[in-house]
Amino acid sequence: MAQGRRRLPKWKIARESIRSGELLQEEDSMLRWAVIFLVIALIAGLLGFTGIATAAAGIAKFLFYLFLIVCIVLFIAGFMLAKRM
């Protein structure tokens, strides 16, 4: 072990990972895709491509709700993990 560096316990590493946002990276990606499909739906709707707009809006809605559910589950898991420490 290098001088001046100390080894952190696993629970501190987990807490630092949560703070740095590493665990939330996947949810940000899903939200980004939901926004992309929403923009596609809006542009397609303005141009009159109603079939494409409907499909893109449906995908955006599904991804948004999926993101919301995953976010709530991780939020609750974070509270439960914090109580154990």
CA dist 28 and 7 (Å) reads 31
Q: What pLDDT does residue 35 have?
A: 86
Q: What pLDDT does residue 69 have?
A: 93
CA dist 65 and 54 (Å) reads 17
| Residue 12 tokens, joined | 């501190």
Mean pLDDT of the chain: 76
56: amino acid identity, one letter = A
pTM of the full structure:
0.54
Q: Where are the domains of the chain?
A: 24-84
Residues of the chain with pLDDT under 70: 1-28
Q: What pLDDT does residue 4 have?
A: 55
The residues, ordered by sequence, that sit 6+ positions from 15 with a Cβ below 8 Å of its Cβ are 85
Q: What pLDDT does residue 21 have?
A: 55
Q: What pLDDT does residue 45 have?
A: 83
